[in-house]
C-alpha cells in the first residue's frame, strides 16, 4: 500500500480526525493511529494536526499506509484489476478533460471510492485507466445510486481551488429528480435541519427543534407534471448527505426508485414500468475557475434508462399542449 488522500465530504465535516480514522481503519489499534498523528504522518492540507482537529468540508487528508504497518486489512480490500466492461464505461463517461480537471458523467451503481467491502470505486478505477497521470483526486462525491456530473482534479492546486468553490458556494449545482405525486405550485425554496442516524450514521432524517441538526437548503422547480409524478429541477444551496432525498420524502414527494427513503410500494409499481434505479441525476454545474479565469458550464445528459422512463410523461405533456 502507499500513501492515500481523502477529501472531506460535507457530511464528514465537524468530527475529530482521530474519530474519523478510527472508523476508516477499524482493525488498526487506536495506539497506532495516535502514533501516526503524533509523528505528523497524517496531514491536513499538508499541515500537521493533532487528534482534536475537527474536519472541514473540502480538506485533503494525507493518510499513511496504516494497513501495511499493522498487518491489518483495509476495509476496502485489494484493488481489483480493471475489467474491460468498466474500462469502457469510464471511457464513455468522460465529458471533458483539460489541464485542470476531468469531468465524468458517473453511471448509477458505481461508488465514487472503495470501502465497506467494495474494493474498486470510481477513483481507484480511473487511476488504473490513466496510470500515467501523476495526480488525480475526487473533488467531491455522489451517492452510489446517483448518476451525473463528478469532477476529478488533475493537480493539487486545481483540487484546492475546487474545494474552495465548494466551501464558499461558488458552484451552481442542479439535479433532476422524478418525485412521487403532483407538485403543488411552482418553485419553492426548502430549508430543513437534518441529522445523521442509524448504524455508522449512514442514514439521515429531519431534526426536530430540540435536536442539533445541520441546515440543508434546496430550490425545487417543477419541469413536467404527470398524473402521479413530477420531474423536478433541484438546485442545492448546501451539500448535506442525502439532502434531496430526505427533503422530498419529508414533503411527501419521495424520489422514485429510492430504496432508503422512498415509498416501497410505489417503487415496485414503477419498477414494473422500467424504473430499476433511483431517479436522481446530477445534471449541471456552473463555476468560475479563478486561477485561469475559465468559466465552466457543464451538463450531463440523462442516461438512457431514465430517458425511457420519461417518455410517457413527455408524450402526455405534448398531448396536453396540442
Domain ranges in the chain with CATH number 3.10.290.10:
4-70
Q: Where are the alpha helices (DSSP H) in the chain?
A: 17-24, 30-38, 66-70, 84-93, 122-129, 156-167, 243-250, 264-272, 304-321
pLDDT digits (tens, 9 = 90+) for 162-199: 999 998 999 999 999 999 999 999 999 999 999 888 76
Confidence of residue 11 (pLDDT cuts 50, 70, 90): low
- Out of 3.30.2350.10, 3.60.15.10, 3.20.20.70, 1.10.1740.10, select the CATH number for domain 84-167: 3.30.2350.10
Contact 220, 183 (CB under 8 A): yes
* pLDDT given for residue 113 in this prediction: 78
The CATH homologous superfamily for domain 4-70 is RNA-binding S4 domain (3.10.290.10)
Q: Kindly list the catalytic residues.
A: 143
Secondary structure of residue 315 in the 3-state scheme: helix
Grid coordinates of 291? 486561477
pLDDT digits (tens, 9 = 90+) for 115-160: 555 567 898 889 889 888 888 889 998 999 999 999 999 988 899 8
pLDDT digits (tens, 9 = 90+) for 236-255: 999 898 999 999 999 999 99
- Out of 3.30.2350.10, 3.40.47.10, 3.40.50.720, 1.10.3720.10, select the CATH number for domain 172-321: 3.30.2350.10
Query: Of 102, 92, 144, which is closest to residue 303 (Cα–Cα)?
Result: 92
> At residue 114, does pLDDT exceed 50?
yes
Amino acid at each position: 500500500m502507499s500513501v492515500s488522500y481523502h477529501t472531506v465530504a460535507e457530511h464528514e465535516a465537524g468530527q475529530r480526525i482521530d474519530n474519523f480514522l478510527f472508523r476508516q481503519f477499524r482493525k488498526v489499534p487506536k495506539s497506532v493511529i495516535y502514533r501516526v498523528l503524533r509523528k505528523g504522518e497524517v496531514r491536513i492540507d499538508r499541515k500537521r494536526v493533532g487528534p482534536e482537529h475537527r474536519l472541514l468540508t473540502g480538506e485533503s487528508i494525507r493518510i499513511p499506509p496504516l494497513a501495511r504497518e499493522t498487518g491489518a486489512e483495509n476495509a476496502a480490500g485489494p484493488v481489483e484489476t480493471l475489467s474491460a466492461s468498466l474500462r469502457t464505461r469510464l471511457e464513455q463517461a468522460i465529458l471533458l478533460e483539460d489541464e485542470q480537471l476531468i469531468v465524468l458523467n458517473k453511471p448509477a451503481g458505481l461508488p465514487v471510492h472503495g470501502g465497506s467491502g467494495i474494493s474498486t470505486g470510481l477513483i481507484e478505477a480511473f487511476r488504473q485507466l490513466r496510470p500515467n497521470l501523476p495526480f488525480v483526486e475526487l473533488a467531491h462525491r455522489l451517492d452510489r445510486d446517483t448518476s451525473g456530473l463528478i469532477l476529478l482534479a488533475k493537480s493539487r492546486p486545481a483540487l484546492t481551488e475546487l474545494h474552495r468553490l465548494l466551501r464558499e458556494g461558488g458552484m451552481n449545482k442542479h439535479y433532476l429528480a422524478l418525485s412521487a405525486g403532483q407538485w403543488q405550485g411552482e418553485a419553492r425554496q426548502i430549508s430543513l435541519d437534518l441529522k445523521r442516524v442509524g448504524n455508522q450514521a449512514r442514514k439521515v432524517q429531519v431534526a426536530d427543534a430540540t435536536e442539533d441538526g445541520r441546515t440543508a437548503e434546496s430550490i425545487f422547480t417543477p419541469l413536467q407534471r404527470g398524473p402521479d409524478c413530477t420531474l423536478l429541477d433541484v438546485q442545492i444551496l448546501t451539500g448535506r448527505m442525502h439532502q434531496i432525498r430526505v427533503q422530498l420524502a419529508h414533503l411527501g414527494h419521495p424520489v422514485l426508485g429510492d430504496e432508503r427513503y422512498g415509498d416501497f410500494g410505489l417503487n415496485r409499481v414503477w419498477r414494473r414500468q422500467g424504473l430499476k434505479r433511483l431517479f436522481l441525476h446530477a445534471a449541471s454545474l456552473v463555476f468560475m475557475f479563478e486561477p485561469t479565469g475559465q468559466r465552466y458550464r457543464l451538463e450531463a445528459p440523462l442516461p438512457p434508462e431514465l430517458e425511457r422512463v420519461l417518455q410517457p410523461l413527455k408524450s402526455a405533456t405534448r398531448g396536453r399542449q396540442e
